[in-house]
Structure 1
Amino acid sequence: MTKDDEEYLVRYINLKRHEYINDLQVLLGYAQLGKTDKIFEYIQKVIDKSNDERTVFNSGMDNIMKYIKNKIEDK
């Protein structure tokens, strides 16, 4: 892994942590408002997104790094 790859990986981990906290805040907001239907929809959205990422991460290092670089550069 190159130095650039390592930097992208660290930035990706930070991005994922930020997204994780955002997802929890959205779910908390829906819970506080009593919108259980929205909670279930949002959880399914997070699951689908996680499954898509799992597919990439099971496909090999080249695809993983391309995916990470694209996620970082899109932000």
Structure 2
Amino acid sequence: MTKNDEKYLIEYINLKRHEYLNDLQVLLGYAQLGKMDKIFEYIQKVIDKCNDERTVFNSDMDSIMKYIKNKIEDK
């Protein structure tokens, strides 16, 4: 792994942490408003996103790094 790859990986980890916190804040907002239907929809959306990422992360390292670089560059 190159230094550049390490940089992208660290940025990706920070991006994912930020996304997870946002997801939790959205769920908290729905819960405070009593919108259970929205909570279930949002949880399913997060699960689908995680499953898509799992597919990538179960592949080879080149595909993983390409995915990470694209996520960082698209933010």
TM-score, length basis structure 1: 1.00
CA RMSD of superposed structures (Å): 0.2
Aligned partners of 2:60, 2:46: CA distance in 1, in Å?
23
What's the counterpart of residue 28 of structure 2? 28
- Flag as ranges the 4+ runs of structure 1 deviating above 2 A: none
Aligned to 2:46: 46
Q: Secondary structure at the match of 1:34?
A: coil
What is the TM-score normalised by the length of structure 2? Answer: 1.00
Share of identical aligned residues, percent?
88
Q: Give ranges in structure 2 of 5+ residues lacking alignment.
A: none
Partner in structure 1 of residue 70 of structure 2: 70
The one-letter code of the counterpart of 1:50 is C
Task: Structure 1: state its 5+ residue gaps.
Answer: none
